[in-house]
Structures are given as C-alpha cells and as structure tokens.
Amino acid sequence: MKLSFNNTAQIEFVKELRRRVDDYFVTNNRSKYANGKMIFKTLFFLTTWIGSYLMLVLGNNTFETNIFFWITLGFSIAFICVNVGHDAIHGAYSSKKWVNQLLSHTFNFNGASAYMWTKMHNAAHHTYTNVDGYDEDIESVPIIRLSPTQKLRKIHRYQYIYIIPFYGLATLSWVLIKDYVKFFKNEVGNFNGANHPRKEYFYLFFYKLINYFFFLAVPLMVMKDSVGLIIAGFLIMHFFAGMTLALIFMLAHVVEQTHFPEPSVEGSLENSWAVHQLYTTANFSKGSELALFLTGGLNLQVEHHLFPNICSVHYKEISPIVEQTAREFGLPYLQNKTFFSALVSHVRFLKKMGQSEEYTPLEYAIGETAK
C-alpha cells in the first residue's frame, strides 16, 4: 500500500531549515548547482576512470601490473558514479537538463541503468528510507537481515562475519542480474505497474552490451593474459567497485543509531518526510576533506537526503546549518566521527540483527557524535 508521512508534524522545523539553507545561497550569491570545484572533481574522476581502463587494455603489462589497474578501475567506477553520475541523476549537477542527462550516462556505461536507479534510489530509497518493504537499499535477502522487521534466521547469526565480503558482489549483481529483474518485474518499493518508456527497453540492453563489450570482450581480445586471468581481473574490479559503493551507502543508514520506522496498519508514518530522514540517516567522517572528495559528499548523507537537488559540493557548507537547526528543534543529527567508527557500528548492528529479534537504536544527546 502507499505510505503517507505526517507532514503537519514538525512543520516549523522544515520551514526554518529550508529558509536558512536558501538564505545561505542567496547571501553568498552562490548557485545550488556545480561550481569550479565540482568541475575539477568531474575531470579528475573521468581521467582516472578512462585512464585506468586504457592503461589496462593498451599497456601490454605484466599480470601483476594488470591486477593493479583492475583494482584502480574498480575504485574509479565507484568514484565516478558517486561523484558525477549520482548528482546528475538527482538533477543536482546542473540547472540544464541535458547536462544532467549526459553525465548520468556514466552509470549506463558502467553497467548500471540510470533509469532504474531513479526508481530504486531516487524514488524508493529517498522517499521511504529504512522502511522495510519500500526502501530498496535494505531489501530483504534470505542470507542478510538489515532491518528489525525482517525475519530472523539461523544463518543470520554469522552475517556480521560474511556480509562485508558479500558486498563485493553488489555491482556484479547489478550489471548481470538486478537491473533486468527489477525492470521486467516492474516493482520497485512503492512503484509498480507503470509502463516503461519504449526507449528505456533499448537503453537497458544497449548499454549492458556496451559495458560487456568494453569491460570483458575488449580485454579478452587485446590483453595477453589468459582467459582465466582476465575473468579473474574482471571479478576483482567488480569486487572493489561493489565494496566501495556498498559501504558508502550502508554506513549512512545501517548503523546502530539509525531508526527503522514501521508504518501503521493504515499506512501512515509517525514523522514528516524531512524528520524521517533525520532518524534514518547518519553522517560519517564529517571533518574529512578526503572523505568528501572520494564519496562525492555522501559521507554527509543527512544533508543529501534533506536536499537531494543541491549539488554535493555544497554539503560541507550547509551541514552546520542543518545540525544547528536540528539541535534547536530538539531533533537528532546522527553521525559517526570517522569512517572506521561507522564501520564498527555497522558490524555491531549486523551482529545484533543476526542474534536477536529485538532492536533499540543507540541514543545520543542532540548533536553528540558517536566516537
């Protein structure tokens, strides 16, 4: 059923937060879209992505050197997607629609349908964050329990041990299976039954074939390594790409502080959409310039979820506004101090999910950062 938010609740917080963030851009005469820093990041990650691929297939390297470039290419795929494609698909990179559409093809070339991402991520995940059965990012899988509302099984007892390597299959599954299944099943979270535009049938298969050709067929045709070693390199590439992407998103929503709201029998949620994001999203490494650079600002997921149409390059500047406003209204602003502390919290959460049906989020004083 379709869920509804209590958008009359905390309405003053929502109004005040939007006013303050809008005032920031007006007062500083800044656009909400990409700036020179974002363009530099785009060129940097495009260069590393294309460069690592060319060095791999044209470098006539030893196998050991090729492994390095397979790994570099895996990281580059993840970073180009979160730094460029992600903003573009949200319409946050540019005020010009054609620019966003052009850059969103970085997803398509890397084997993930940009069209299906809008359904699974923009529509389902961003609307119903951490709501089991509606948020695609915590979709129920038999060997993984990511929500206290999902059935506890015996195998889950050890998920905190085996799940992290399992994340390395994320992009491989996406490229080979997930997009096809979701596209033809035509059910994504709260979205189902709508007819796909005809062009999307073409794009789905066209870009998948392009991806298979460049990332598997071309290496098999031009590299001197054996077929087995090239396939091994292809899998290694996806392992690092998948691991990187999965951890960026998991550490923002599946940690000990975040909540997993359950709708009422009538399909209503307790909070307004904006406050719902505060309870279900956590930042990490807020003060790290390196984390900001590599994750496309997605270490500041609170800001991203509240303002997905603002370019990620601005999250650092608006984060003090968001935190201060949340404090004033007595609302949570969840965060882990470092990537490592967020990772530890994620593992502890997985252990709790695997060993007990009961779950109570860790509570911190308003504005306090988990160590």
Segment 72-99, tens digit of pLDDT: 999 999 999 999 999 999 999 999 999 9
| In the predicted structure, residue 352 carries a pLDDT above the cut 50 | yes
User: What does the pLDDT read at residue 90?
Assistant: 97
User: What does the pLDDT read at residue 371?
Assistant: 47
* pLDDT (average), residues 155-177: 93
Give the Cα separation of 322 and 247 in Å (integer): 24
Highest mean pLDDT among 12-26, 165-179, 191-205: 12-26
Give the Cα separation of 149 and 138 in Å (integer): 11
* pLDDT (average), residues 128-150: 91
Q: Give me the sign of the Cα torsion angle 154, 342, 307, 289.
A: negative
| In the predicted structure, residue 367 carries a pLDDT above the cut 80 | no
* pLDDT (average), residues 358-370: 68
Phi, psi dihedrals of residue 139, rounded to the nearest 5°: -55, 140
| In the predicted structure, residue 190 carries a pLDDT above the cut 80 | no
Among residues 131, 121, 242, which one has the least CA distance to residue 176? 242
User: pTM to 2 decimals?
Assistant: 0.93
Give the Cα separation of 258 and 129 in Å (integer): 10
Give the Cα separation of 252 and 326 in Å (integer): 18
Q: Do 46 and 80 touch, CB atoms closer than 8 A?
A: yes
Angle at CA of residue 19, ends 253 and 134, nearest 5° = 30
- DSSP string spanning 273-295? HHHHHHHH-EEE-TT-HHHHHHH
Give the Cα separation of 43 and 212 in Å (integer): 24
Give the Cα separation of 199 and 206 in Å (integer): 10
Task: Pull the structure tokens for residue 185.
Answer: 């099943």
